[in-house]
């Protein structure tokens, strides 16, 4: 765990990122899980996920360029960029997945310029026409990378990157399978540390560390049952302290529906016989465990219900960043689905980076006591 914690504690200027940069490797920042990391990796670059502060903090610089009614995740990312924390980036790739992400890309290009920048159009549906459209976007990104970096991204390089990233997804699945136990050997906050590090370290090093962690966990003591088994849902979440605050008062966070969690690693790239690796990558990224922005919502809800059954979840805590349009608008629909299936949900309106304190913890405590009473 210590290597993962170190990568997170020192991020954005983690030693492994700066070391790669010093060796001459290009470092490509990306925003949104609809950006295909394998393509950046196959181009010889180190993909690094752009995120904001690991705590709730003043966003004076970010708010100077973003109106305050934009989500604090986007403002936090921009603030770090404006203060030079991502000065090592050779490129910035984003998906037009919500207004805040799209405007973050525009502002970054204007005020935190990088040598290479690219934004992808991401359809909101799963149809074949949508897959064709997204594939053209992946092709355009490939062409842009090749021209800028002066490389040819070969089919073999793509296959190698697919194998590496699929291995990472398989290891993350194995780690999360341990959380199905009555008394898991790893808690939710520790899992979040691992997930954060997964996009802040070279994948080769991350996979090696994660294999070692899984071996250690097989011999470690369980963490306990807690008052209730919890799923975390909602907006982007990187702060392990938020999850730890829930677990300190008796919650056992066993799974999630987050773009920084399960949705990041859920589905592998499936390369069938005679299928082009680039088409397989495009299909995986558009059809992966969906975000609240995708239509229809039923696919996402069914995936959540499957996780709830698989991990024996007692209740869902939905944390929605203020002004996060996709998840705010989706919340009533999700609430109806969970109610119909007898799953209690607590909805929290938060700022990105919140650690969980005061009124939030009071509400969580009451929710956990209610779930505990239901179990009895």
Give the chain's largest Cα–Cα span.
Answer: 64
My answer on whether omega of the bond before 296 falls inside 30° of 0, hence cis, is yes
How far, in whole angstroms, is CA 16 from its chain's centroid? 20
Length of the chain: 376
Is residue 343 within 8 A of residue 313, CB to CB? The reply is yes
Q: How many helices (H) and strands (E) does the chain have?
A: 16, 8
Is residue 122 within 8 A of residue 295, CB to CB? The reply is no
Rounded Cα distance between 143 and 138, Å, is: 9
pLDDT given at position 220: 86
- The DSSP-derived string for 281-303 is HHHHHHHSS--TTSSSTHHHHHH
Rounded Cα distance between 206 and 172, Å, is: 11
pLDDT given at position 359: 86
- The mean pLDDT values, 10 residues at a time, for the chain of 376 residues are 95 95 98 97 98 87 91 95 97 95 96 97 95 97 98 97 98 97 96 97 97 94 89 96 95 97 96 87 96 95 98 97 94 97 97 84 95 87
pLDDT given at position 341: 98
How many CB atoms neighbour CB 355 within 10 A? 17
- Indicate the pTM of the whole model: 0.95
| Residue 283 CB burial class (10 angstroms; 0-12, 13-18, ≥19) | buried
Rounded Cα distance between 217 and 221, Å, is: 8
């Amino acid at each position: 765990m210590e290597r993962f914690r170190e990568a997170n504690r020192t991020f954005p200027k983690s030693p492994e990122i700066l070391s790669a940069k010093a060796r001459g490797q290009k470092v490509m920042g990306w925003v949104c899980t609809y950006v295909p990391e394998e393509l950046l990796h196959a181009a010889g670059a180190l993909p690094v996920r752009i995120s904001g502060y690991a705590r709730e903090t003043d966003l004076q610089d970010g708010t100077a360029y973003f109106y305050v009614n934009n989500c604090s995740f986007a403002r936090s990312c921009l603030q770090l960029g404006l203060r030079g924390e991502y000065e090592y980036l050779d490129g910035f790739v984003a998906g037009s997945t919500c207004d805040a992400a799209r405007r973050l890309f525009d502002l970054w290009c204007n005020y935190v310029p990088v040598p290479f920048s690219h934004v992808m159009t991401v359809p909101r549906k799963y149809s074949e026409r949508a897959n064709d459209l997204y594939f053209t976007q992946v092709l355009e990104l490939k062409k842009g990378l090749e021209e800028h970096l002066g490389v040819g991204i070969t089919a073999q390089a793509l296959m190698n990157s697919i194998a590496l990233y699929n291995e990472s997804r398989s290891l993350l699945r194995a780690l999360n399978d341990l959380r199905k136990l009555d008394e898991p050997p790893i808690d939710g906050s520790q899992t979040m540390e691992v997930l954060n590090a997964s996009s802040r370290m070279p994948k080769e090093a991350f996979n090696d560390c994660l294999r070692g962690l899984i071996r250690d966990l097989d011999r470690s003591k369980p963490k306990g049952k807690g008052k209730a088994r919890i799923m975390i849902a909602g907006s982007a979440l990187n702060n392990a302290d938020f999850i730890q605050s829930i677990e300190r008062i008796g919650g056992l966070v066993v799974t999630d529906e987050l773009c920084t969690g399960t949705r990041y690693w859920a589905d592998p790239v499936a390369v069938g016989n005679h299928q082009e690796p680039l088409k397989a990558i495009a299909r995986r990224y558009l059809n992966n465990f969906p975000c609240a922005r995708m239509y229809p919502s039923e696919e996402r809800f069914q995936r959540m219900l499957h996780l709830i059954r698989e991990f024996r979840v007692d209740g869902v805590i939905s944390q929605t960043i203020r002004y996060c349009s996709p998840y705010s608008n989706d919340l009533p629909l999700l609430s109806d689905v969970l109610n119909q299936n007898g799953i209690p949900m607590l909805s929290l309106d938060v700022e990105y980076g919140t650690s969980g304190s005061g009124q939030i913890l009071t509400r969580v405590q009451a929710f956990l006591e209610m779930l505990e009473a239901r179990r009895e």
